[in-house]
Amino acid sequence: MANSYQTKASSVKREIIAAFAKLVEEYPIVGTVDVENLPARQLNMMREQLRQTVLIRMTKRRLLTIVLENAKKPGVKKLIPYLKGMPALIFTNESPFKLFKKLRQNKSKAPIKAGQTAPADILVPAGPTNFAPGPIIGELGSFRIKTAVENGKVAIKEDAVVAKEGDEVDAKLASILARLGIEPMEIGLNLVAVCENGQMLTKDVLDIDEEAYTQDFATAAAWALNLACNAGFPTEETVRLLLRAAHSEALALATAQDIVTDKTKEIILAKAENQAAALNKRTGS
């Protein structure tokens, strides 16, 4: 009976590994996601929302490791160290950057629970609260949160970091954060790393500030245009500006040297009249 069970279990594992290996070869983009702390209901909802473009598959970490170790696709083995938390593999044909953005947009904020680790430094900001003076002042003080009583309510006097990234949050701190309305957790798929064409892209690379990126491009374009104009380098973008500048400089030179042209004659005549008027004023004529 035991041998029969082991044989059946081994057969199931081989089928799982074979199915994952096929997906790794079929899709150009393979990544790892961490679904730890993600409720099953939200996971199923996200799968439904993303099913047109993204495939998410879960199994035991050991089996995922075997799949990646034996994959023929270049670079996929590098994903093994990124099987973090409760790992799953994600498969798609989309750009990794679009994928990261889509997963981030599907995340929502949530309170932190006792025993969970801080995903980033947890900051309690300065400002008023709804707490009446009482034991809460001592509770906040135990986390080095400076308070005062203002208008009959407890106010936090300055920002305070109550937990560093990676710290485990206890029940007392979790309760205070919830009462303050601070929700440091994000519910959603956490994309850890992606392999594309043998290249490893971690979440730090994929997490682009699009607004800052666009501003950097605009600034670079302005600097390039300014440099090209100052250097007199003609391009489709600079030729009109260069011609306009050349025209202005030529007009100024001709006017200064009293060179009469259709463009300068009126300016030169006006200058001559002004000079004559100034001379008459000096001589009293």
- What CATH number corresponds to the domain at position 158? 3.90.105.20
Same domain, 102 and 197: yes
Same domain, 81 and 145: no
Same domain, 58 and 90: yes
User: Which pLDDT value is given to residue 188?
Assistant: 79
Residues with pLDDT less than 70, the chain: 1-9, 209-210, 284-285
Give residue 44's identity as a one-letter amino acid code.
N
**Number of structural domains in the chain:** 3
Same domain, 46 and 87: yes
Contact (CB, 8 A) for 137 and 147 = yes
Is 237 part of any domain?
Answer: yes
Same domain, 7 and 81: yes
What are the φ/ψ torsions at residue 124 (nearest 5 degrees)?
A: -100, 110
Same domain, 58 and 142: no
Task: Give the DSSP letter of residue 125.
Answer: -
Q: List residues bridging with 89 in a β-sheet.
A: 32, 57
Question: Taking the CB of residue 90, how many other CB atoms lie within 10 A of it?
Answer: 22
Contact (CB, 8 A) for 46 and 106 = yes
Element (H, E) at 94: none
Helices and strands in the chain, H and E counts: 10, 12
Q: List residues bridging with 155 in a β-sheet.
A: 128, 148
Q: List residues bridging with 271 in a β-sheet.
A: none
Residue 272 and residue 56: Cα distance in Å, rounded? Answer: 84
Q: Which two tokens stand for residue 204?
A: 């730090």
Same domain, 138 and 103: no
Residue 216 and residue 228: Cα distance in Å, rounded? Answer: 18
Residues in the chain: 285
User: Which pLDDT value is given to residue 249?
Assistant: 82
Is 112 part of any domain?
Answer: no
Give the model confidence (pLDDT) of 87-132 as tens digits.
Answer: 999 999 988 888 888 888 877 788 898 998 898 899 999 999 999 9
User: Which pLDDT value is given to residue 121?
Assistant: 93
Give this prediction's pTM.
0.57
User: Which pLDDT value is given to residue 9?
Assistant: 52
Contact (CB, 8 A) for 150 and 90 = no
Q: Which two tokens stand for residue 16?
A: 């799982």
Same domain, 143 and 242: no
Task: Tell me the residue range of the domain where 169 lies.
Answer: 122-183
Q: Which residue has the tokens 């440099």?
A: 227
Same domain, 75 and 135: no
Is 116 part of any domain?
Answer: no
